Copies of this chain bind each other. A is one copy, B any other.
Amino acid sequence: MDEEITADDGRRPAVVPEEPRQSDEPHEPLAHEKAEQAARIEQTSRSFGITPEQYMLPAAQQIRMLSPDGSLIPEEEQGTSAGHEYPVPEDEALLAAYEALVVGRRINDQNYALVRQGRLAVYPSSHGQEACQVGAALALGADDWMFPTYRDSVAIMTRGVDPVEVMVSFRGDWHCGFDPIAHRVSAPSTPLTTQLLHAVGVAHAAKLRGEDTVVLAMCGDGATSEGDFHEALNFAAVFEVPVVFFVQNNGYAISVPLSHQSAAPSLAHKAIGYGMAGEQVDGNDMVAVLATLRRAVSLARERSMPLLLEATTYRMQAHTNADDDTRYRDAHEVELWRRHDPLTRVQTFLSSRGVLDDDAASRISDRAEEVAASLRTAMTADPPIDPLEIFDHVYAAPTAQLREQRAQLADELARGQED
C-alpha cells in the first residue's frame, strides 16, 4: 500500500520532510524539522494502511489470546487490528514456553523456601508473572541482549544462566554472580529504570557497528515514573535503535497502586509521546505475551526502531520477603488474580490442543524438580568468600590506596586467625 494516507480519524499525519533538507531550500517555516524516526513511523504505518497515530497508540484493547479458562479466544476478539496483528506462535514454541513456565514457577517457589530457611538474604519473587519472564527470554535471539531488574531472575535463568549463579547476589555475595557479556544479560538493576538507558547504549553501540542486535529492556509499572524512563525512550526513538521496552505492570510498586503512579489511559499510551508504537498485552496469557514480544522484537530488528510493550500482570507474593502485602491489598484481590494464573491457563490450552500429553507433562515436572534440587543443594553449601576480593575489582588494577587498605584488612584477618 503506497498511496498517501489521509488520517481517517481527522487528525493530521506526522509532518515528515520528504527529502533531506537543503541549505538553500529551507523547509516550511512555522514548523520545525521532524526526526527521521517520524519518517520510519510514517512508512511503517502506511504499510499497514493506518495513520501514524493509529500505529503508535495501543490497540483498542489489550492483546489477549487465551481466555482466563484457557480456551483460545476467537481471532476477532483478541484485540488485534490492522497494524496490531499478532500471529499465534507455533505449538512447539508454546510447549517450550510452557516448560520454561513450569521451571520458572518451581524456581520461584524454591527460592521462597530458601529465603525462609535463611539461605537467601532476599528474593523478589515473580510468582504470577512467569509468563512475562519466560516470554522475555524466549523472544530473543542468541545475540540479543536483555536488561533485567531484581524481579527478573526467572527471565535470566530462562535465557540460560545457571540458577545458582543468578542467586549469588541474593545469597548475600558482593557481585552479580554470572558473566553478563557471555550471556548477553546485564547484571540485574536495583536502582529503578536506570538500566533502560544502558539498554539503549548497548543497542546504539551494536547499531554503530552494523549489528542487528535487539535489546529487551525490562522494568515495572512503578519504574515508568522515573525520569530515566523518559530519557531512555526518547533516546531510543531519536537514535532509532532496536530496543523493546517491556513493562511488567503488576499493579503495584511495593505498596503503591498503579492509580497513584499514572493517570494515563495505559502505560502503553506513553509511546506516542516519543514517536514509537505502544501496545498492551495480557501478561498472564503466555500465548499473547510470546506473540506480542516476538513481533515487537522482529519489528525492532527489521526497522531498527524501538517499541513499548506493557504487560498487565500481578505479583502474587509480597514485594520481597521483607514486605507485608496485607498492609496494602486484600486477600480477595490476590485470590481473584489466582484464577488467572498464567501457568494453568496455558496448560489447559496446550492439553486441550493435545500438545501437552502426560509424558511431556511428567518430563517437564521432572526437569523442574531437578533444577530446584540442584539449586537447593548449591544454596545449602556455603562456599567461602574471600573478603580481600572486595578491593580487587573496584578498578581494573587496584590503586595504591586500595592496596594499602587491602593490606590492612589482610593484617586484621591474619591477626584474627591467630586469636
Chain B CB within 8 A of A18 CB: no
B262 engages A333 (CB within 8 Å): no
In the complex, which of the residues A23, A34, A56 has the most CB atoms of chain B within 10 Å of its own CB atom?
A: A34
Cβ-defined partner of A35 (8 Å) among B10, B57, B234, B263: B263
A260 engages B35 (CB within 8 Å): yes
Give the distance to chain B from A9, nearest Cβ to Cβ, in Å.
4
- Chain B residue numbers with a CB within 8 Å of A371 are none
- Chain B residue numbers with a CB within 8 Å of A53 are 57, 265
Q: How far is the CA of A61 from the CA of B10 in the complex (A)?
A: 10
Cβ-defined partner of A272 (8 Å) among B41, B52, B264: B264
- Chain B residue numbers with a CB within 8 Å of A180 are none
Q: How far is the CA of A234 from the CA of B253 in the complex (A)?
A: 15
The closest CB in chain B to the CB of A29 belongs to B336
Chain B CB within 8 A of A26 CB: yes
Q: How far is the CA of A340 from the CA of B260 in the complex (A)?
A: 44
Cβ-defined partner of A11 (8 Å) among B57, B276, B284: B57
Chain B CB within 8 A of A270 CB: yes
Chain B CB within 8 A of A304 CB: no
B230 engages A33 (CB within 8 Å): no
- Chain B residue numbers with a CB within 8 Å of A269 are 272-273
A330-B23 contact given A33-B258, A272-B273, CB 8 Å threshold: yes
- Chain B residue numbers with a CB within 8 Å of A11 are 57, 59-60
Give the distance to chain B from A340, nearest Cβ to Cβ, in Å.
6
- Chain B residue numbers with a CB within 8 Å of A333 are 26, 29
Within A308-339, the residues touching B (CB, 8 Å) are: 312, 314, 330, 332-333, 336-337, 339
A262 engages B284 (CB within 8 Å): no
- Chain B residue numbers with a CB within 8 Å of A261 are 238
Within A137-158, the residues touching B (CB, 8 Å) are: none
Chain B CB within 8 A of A377 CB: no
Chain B CB within 8 A of A355 CB: no
B231 engages A37 (CB within 8 Å): no
Name which of A109-117, A220-228, A396-404 contacts chain B. A220-228
Chain B CB within 8 A of A24 CB: yes
Chain B CB within 8 A of A68 CB: yes
Q: How far is the CA of A14 from the CA of B230 in the complex (A)?
A: 22
- Chain B residue numbers with a CB within 8 Å of A14 are 265
B275 engages A265 (CB within 8 Å): yes
Within A27-74, the residues touching B (CB, 8 Å) are: 29-38, 41, 52-53, 56-57, 59-61, 68
- Chain B residue numbers with a CB within 8 Å of A276 are 263
A35 engages B259 (CB within 8 Å): yes
Instruction: Give the top 8 A-B pairs by smallest Cβ distance, nearest first.
Output: A227-B227, A263-B275, A230-B230, A37-B263, A270-B273, A35-B263, A32-B251, A237-B263
26 pairs, CB–CB < 8 Å, chain A vs chain B = A11-B59, A11-B60, A14-B265, A15-B265, A23-B330, A29-B337, A30-B284, A32-B251, A32-B258, A33-B259, A34-B265, A36-B259, A36-B263, A37-B263, A53-B265, A56-B265, A225-B230, A226-B231, A227-B227, A229-B230, A234-B262, A238-B263, A263-B275, A265-B275, A270-B273, A271-B273
